[in-house]
Amino acid sequence: MVDSKKDKRQKREEYRAALHQDDTTELPRKKFYRQRAHANPFSDHQLIYPPSPDQMDWSLMYPAYVVEDDKPADSEDTAMAAPGAETEAQSSDELVSSTEPKRLSKEVEVADIGCGFGGLLIALAPVMPDTLILGLEIRVSVTQYVVDRIKALRAQNELAPESNPNSYNNIACLRANTMKFLPNFFRKFQLSRIFICFPDPHFKARKHKQRIVSPTLNSEYAYALRPGGIVYTITDVPDLHHWMVQHFDAHRSFERVSDEDQNADPCVAIMRTETEEGKKVERHSGQKYVACFRRLEDPPFEEAEAEAEAEKKVEE
């Protein structure tokens, strides 16, 4: 049994090493990136994250959007390079130092929290070609799969004569623990959309504190999401659906999107059909529960308090 596990691990390592030797257009094979379905968000995953969003260098993840006349980011002051953007997502703790992060012509505007194997990212890329979209995933191997998948898709498009050469340059994947570090990556009102697709239901009551929707986390989503922005949720677990609806309805920064507006949103249709979990539910003839919530304007007297609370979270 031990030898069998070693053989599988060796095959995975050999496969990934071969895949990274050249600028291959071969899409990665999921079986070489398998990992446990769930990760404890309260564990110490030894993640490195920027002290503040201003110190995040997104240029490695979105090189097509780097401002050409910007200064090179290779001198002595410290700024965080994007974890998970390297060829090996596992080496995200080896961050480079720079005078300041390279500037992009656009900001990251859409976040897929717990992006899994990247199905939603890939589907959204051509639908929102002028928007930078980021997948956040805590599992090492799964993050690496998405990074390799995006790299291969970009290479394929460069060789296709009739394709848009910038296809898939607007998506990237980052290994991160969203429950702990979301305000470290995004400024106030930076995001226009947040997707929470088929999150871990954590069925046991004692594990409900690990759910990705809670009063505290909803306040962080409200901080990062601009007024008018949308949080999209989908699950196949009725209890979790009611939990998410209850907690967003109870939060003063959100209102539920009407069924009419929800059904007219093309992102909802994509979210229903393009995620790996969504396809699995479809194969088993399961039911999907969708709820979307719009970010409201902050009352003037609450704005300063909300900002101070989020900044305190970053400092901690």
Residue numbering of the annotated binding site: 114, 137-138, 177-178, 197, 275-277
Task: Please tell me the distance from the alpha carbon of residue 83 to that of residue 91, in angstroms, as a whole number.
Answer: 8
**Beta carbons of 257 and 293 less than 8 angstroms apart:** yes
CA 270 → CA 33, 273, 278, distances in Å?
Answer: 24, 5, 10
Antiparallel, parallel or unpaired: β 56-57 and 80-81: parallel
Antiparallel, parallel or unpaired: β 108-113 and 191-197: parallel
Torsion angles phi and psi, residue 123, rounded to 5: -70, -35
H-assigned helices in 49-91: none
Which of 112, 200, 236, 298 is labelled catalytic? 200
Confirm whether 200 is a catalytic residue. yes
Q: Roughly what angle, to the nearest 10 degrees, separates helices 238-249 and 215-224?
A: 60
Task: Please tell me the distance from the alpha carbon of residue 135 to that of residue 82, in angstroms, as a whole number.
Answer: 12
Residue set of the binding site for S-adenosyl-L-methionine: 114, 137-138, 177-178, 197, 275-277
Q: Which residues are catalytic?
A: 200
